[in-house]
């Protein structure tokens, strides 16, 4: 979500008029993430930052939006890209400001959630909640059972060892010399599934995230999106 001036956020959410909110800032009555602010030029991100007035949180009263997108290859998962590349927000034309929950790299397709609910972003992305992500991976070559076992047990990537993963062979095609796996992980480190496959000596040809938790994109065409249902939201943050 794009940043906005602090006084605009306060006024938009009913604290007082814009001018009065500016006075409250100068008086030191407003804090951002626990730090008292006394400058009018301060900008905040409503999705991430916690704003308080005299110790009481000023909550974002915008309508909360939760969207599931089946991301095509070629789009970056950011609100604004410094290189002017297409972003996932180009696929979702709504008036509310939303932000991607986590990331999928430009060359990975599949499930990505977007929202304007900062608490939801935190709960879904924090490792302690252990929300699973399921991927379909197409690899060059015929995968061996020994390699699959390594993925299940955990492999070394750079400076860490991955946690045990669920791995299932979906298909092997000797004629095309490819294998297709389903990999389910709890972690969400940068390009983790690609690096896991590289760690067992396999090259990823295609990568698609089919599910976040139990929420899948099987019924969504690439580039299409839908609003999450209430029970889906609750299941993710329970």
pLDDT digits 0-9 by tens, 177-218: 999 999 999 887 889 999 999 999 999 999 999 999 999 999
- From the candidates 105, 159, 214, 219, which is the catalytic residue? 105
Residue 214 a catalytic site member: no
Distance (Å, rounded) from C-alpha 63 to C-alpha 8?
17
Reported pTM: 0.76
CB under 8 A, 24+ apart: contacts of 143-152: 143/169, 143/172, 143/179, 143/181, 143/202, 147/200, 147/201, 147/202, 148/181, 150/199, 150/200, 151/181, 151/183, 151/196, 151/197, 151/200
The neighbouring-strand residues paired with 160 are 157
Q: What is the pLDDT of residues 23-54, one digit of tens each?
A: 999 999 999 999 999 989 899 988 788 999 99
């Amino acid at each position: 979500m794009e940043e906005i001036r602090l006084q605009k956020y306060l006024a938009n959410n009913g604290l007082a008029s814009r001018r009065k909110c500016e006075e409250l800032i100068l008086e030191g009555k407003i804090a951002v993430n626990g730090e008292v602010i006394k400058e009018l030029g301060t900008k905040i991100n409503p999705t991430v930052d916690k704003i308080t007035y005299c110790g009481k949180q000023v909550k974002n009263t915008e309508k909360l939006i939760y969207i599931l997108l089946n991301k095509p290859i070629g789009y970056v998962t950011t609100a604004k890209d410094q290189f002017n590349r297409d972003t996932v927000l180009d696929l979702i034309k709504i008036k509310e400001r939303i932000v991607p929950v986590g990331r999928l790299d430009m060359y990975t397709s599949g499930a990505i959630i977007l929202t304007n609910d900062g608490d939801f972003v935190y709960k879904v992305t924090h490792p302690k909640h252990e929300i699973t992500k399921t991927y379909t991976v197409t690899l060059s070559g015929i995968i061996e059972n020994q390699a699959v076992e390594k993925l299940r047990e955990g492999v070394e990537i750079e400076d860490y060892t991955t946690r045990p993963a669920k791995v299932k062979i979906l298909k092997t095609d000797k004629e095309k010399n490819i294998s297709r796996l389903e990999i389910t992980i709890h972690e969400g480190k940068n390009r983790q599934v690609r690096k896991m496959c590289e760690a067992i000596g396999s090259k990823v040809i295609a990568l698609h995230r089919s599910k976040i938790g139990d929420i899948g994109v099987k019924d969504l065409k690439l580039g299409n999106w839908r609003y999450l249902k209430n029970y889906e939201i609750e299941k993710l943050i329970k």
